[in-house]
A and B are shown apart, each in its own frame.
Chain A
């Protein structure tokens, strides 16, 4: 794999995480527990879709085959998506959505903070812009984990279940393969393994404050970064890509 290929692959991972999670959040539109929450979730979704556009445009540029952000978003199939499995998990109840968000936001925040110092100025710039948004996302999702965990008996039970159910998808966030390692070595990407401790620290402190118990470290479900996804992604893409597949290359 050439450096250019690795960089393209790396950018797809960054953009696909934001794209798929942004899509998941947009599914909440009009269905949130409160009007204010509905707006907030949509705002987070819009932030993530905005980040996707920046990452994908850059990916298209790096690839140099004339694929723009739209082509990359709408005309790749599941096998070519590089998002982690965590973000494609279904919304479930509000607790599950917030647990997924919190796990991801905490990681995303730490990652972008590293990428802000990337040797690739284009990556550094997108990361700096995204970091402002993600800081806010993290503040919100962490807040909800605390409120639900330390809320009523019912909300505590749901939040604990959500954390237990999603835990096996968190391991993948910190695994480095040859692409991650090459990018980290060149000072372009982040050392993912090094993010694990700070992430755990933040998650542990939040769980404790929320009266929740973190599962024991265990088996991690993985594959998303290599295009091996859960059955959920196909359905997401069917929704997301329908129009572009039905009317390819239409202007909109």
Chain B
């Protein structure tokens, strides 16, 4: 075979049985999405029932640049109205 293509890299996100959100758990190589999901099952979940798997090609992910860390993330700590931490959330509302 002359045309040995490298399988692309996929990032894997998994929501566990009682988890609330998908969490990034790692990456793997696979020829396409279907195989990436199967492989993610074997590599990252040991096929536990009731988990949800997302895979996304690593090339589809846009990341923030570390050099812009300052302007992007420095919180405006002096402006208290930006941090609505003093509201009380009623119990029955659950997770927000």
Q: Within 8 Å of chain A (Cβ to Cβ): is B56?
A: no
Complex: A143 Cα to B38 Cα, angstroms:
10
Complex: A152 Cα to B4 Cα, angstroms:
10
Complex: A152 Cα to B2 Cα, angstroms:
10
Please report the total number of A residues contacting B with Cβ < 8 Å.
Answer: 15
In contact, B42 and A39 (Cβ under 8 angstroms): yes
Residues of B contacting A39 in the complex (Cβ-Cβ under 8 angstroms): 39, 42-43
In contact, A43 and B29 (Cβ under 8 angstroms): no
Identify B42's interface contact among A40, A147, A152, CB under 8 A: A40
In contact, B42 and A36 (Cβ under 8 angstroms): yes
Complex: A246 Cα to B67 Cα, angstroms:
64
Identify A36's interface contact among B1, B43, B46, CB under 8 A: B43
Type the 1/0 row for A106-123, where 1 means its CB is closer than 8 Å to any CB of B: 000000000000000000
Known: A34-B7, A34-B29, A35-B29. A40 touches B34 (CB 8 A): no
- Interfacial residues, chain A to chain B (CB-CB below 8 A): 34-37, 39-40, 43, 136, 139-140, 143, 147, 152, 154-155
- Interfacial residues, chain B to chain A (CB-CB below 8 A): 1, 3, 7, 28-31, 34-35, 38-39, 41-43, 46-47
